[in-house]
Amino acid sequence: MDAHVTTAPRHEHAHPTAMLYAKVGLVLFVLTALEVGLYEITYGEHVGSMASAIKPFFVPMLLLLSAAKFALVGMFYMHLKQDSKLFTGIFVFPLIIATIIIVSLMVLMAYHMAFARSG
């Protein structure tokens, strides 16, 4: 659509159009539908014959879908793709620390609750 008027002193690359934003929105909607659909056929009311085959892959697939949504919102709606890489760094570095913390706590507490706690 229209050219983006920037107020930042630095000039940015060609700005995404409203059409691109809408497409991203559609993809986000579809990914969400896939997430819920995956849940429904694995555990929900529409459990099918494939459920037991899917179950071991359920969590990884769900996390992948969420990660894709996360990345899309970050790159396009939050403009990380077009903006200075400094912003990407400021966002990604804490996410790495956050992931380390979440995984570590799950592992440490799982061990603790399985072996160290009495009862």
Partner 1 sequence: MAAVAHEVPHGLEHATATGLDNRKLAIWTFIGSECLFFAALISNYLVNKGRSLVGPFPHEPWTSPSGEHFKPILEIPLVTLGTALLLFSSLFVVLALSGAQRGSRKALVGWLAATIACGVFFVGMQVYEFTHFVREGLTLKTNLFGASFFVLTGFHGTHVTIGVIWLVTLWILAARGKIPPSKSLNLEMAALYWHFVDVVWIVIFPVVYLIK
Partner 2 sequence: MATRVQPQAPPPVSHGEKTGLWSWITTVDHKRIGILYGTTAFIFFLLGGIEALLIRIQLGSPENTFLSPERYNELFTMHGTTMIFLAIMPLSAMFFNFMIPLQIGARDVAFPRLNAFSYWVFLAGGLFLNSSWLFGLAPDTGWFGYANLTSTQYSPGLNVDFWMIGLQVLGIASLAAAVNFFVTIVNLRAPGMKLMRMPMFVWMSFITQVLLLLAFPVITVALFLLMFDRFFGTHFFVPSGGGDPILWQHLFWIFGHPEVYILILPAFGIISEVLPVFSRKPLFGYAAMVFSGVFIAFLGFGVWAHHMFATGMGPIADAFFALSTMLIAIPTGVKIFNWMGTMWGGSLQFRTPMYFAIGFIAMFIMGGLSGVMHASPPADLQQTDTYFVVAHFHYVLFGGSIFGITAGAYYWWPKMFGRMLNESLGKLHFWLMLIGFNLTFFPMHFVGLNGMPRRTYTYPKGLGFETLNQIETAGSFLLAVAFLVFLVNVFQAWRKPRNAPADPWNGATLEWSIPSPPQEFNFAEIPVVHGRDALWDMKRERRGPLPEPARVSGRGIHMPNPSYWPVVAAIGVLSVLLSLMFLSHFGPLGVVVAAGVLFLGVFKWAFEPAG
In the Cβ-directed half-sphere of 56, how many Cα atoms lie within 13 Å? 1
Residue 2's SS3 state is: coil
Give the residue carrying structure tokens 């790159």.
75
Kindly state the smallest distance separating residue 111's Cβ from partner 2, in Å: 6
Query: Which CB sits closer to partner 1, 49 or 89?
Result: 89
* Stretch of 14-22, 37-45, 59-67, 109-117 lying at the interface with partner 2 (CB under 8 A): 109-117
Query: Which CB sits closer to partner 1, 4 or 50?
Result: 4
* Stretch of 20-28, 35-43, 73-81, 106-114 lying at the interface with partner 2 (CB under 8 A): 106-114
List the single partner that 117 binds among partner 2, partner 1, none, CB under 5 to 8 Å by kind.
Answer: partner 2
The answer to whether residues 40 and 28 touch, using CB atoms and an 8 Å cutoff, is no
The answer to whether residues 65 and 27 touch, using CB atoms and an 8 Å cutoff, is no
Tell me the C-alpha distance between 102 and 92, whole Å.
Answer: 15
The reply on whether position 22 binds partner 2 by CB under 8 A is no
